[in-house]
Amino acid sequence: METAPVPLPSGRFTIGKTFDFEAGHRLASLPPEHKCSRQHGHTYQVEVVLSASSLQGPGFVTDFGDLAPFKRYLDNELDHHNLHEVLDFEPTSELLAQHLASWIITNMPPEIGGQLTAVRVRETQRSWARFDVATP
């Protein structure tokens, strides 16, 4: 039995990869009675979202393994650190998501496939912030 080809719709492909790291922080600009002004920690989950209108062989937006330099950055620079001591901004989830997007844009090899569309930072299972990269 032969199957007739089905026309494929046009659109974009989107992938995501989640990374995690452990870190502490405090938000010093908050009033002292706010719980987040005190030192505390999170198991952060960072989701990187890439998209492309066409695929690279064998059918990838990018090979997930190509994101290894980002994982090394998280492991070497942020994991098991006090974020307010290693970053030059107040480490809210929103600003951390923007910072991580900037790191990816600046440091990832340009030949990897896909375009960064968003970075989401999750502090808990119920709380997250997402930075969407503006498209030119």
DSSP alpha helices (H): ranges in 57-114?
68-73, 83-86, 93-107
**Residue 16 CA: distances (Å) to CA of 32, 43, 49, 53, 97:** 37, 19, 4, 15, 14
Catalytic (active-site) positions? 36, 80, 123
What tokens does 100 get?
Answer: 């991580």
109 prior amide bond cis, ω within 30: no
Are the CB atoms for 129 and 90 separated by under 8 Å? no
The residue among 23, 25, 43, 44 whose CA lies nearest residue 35 is 25
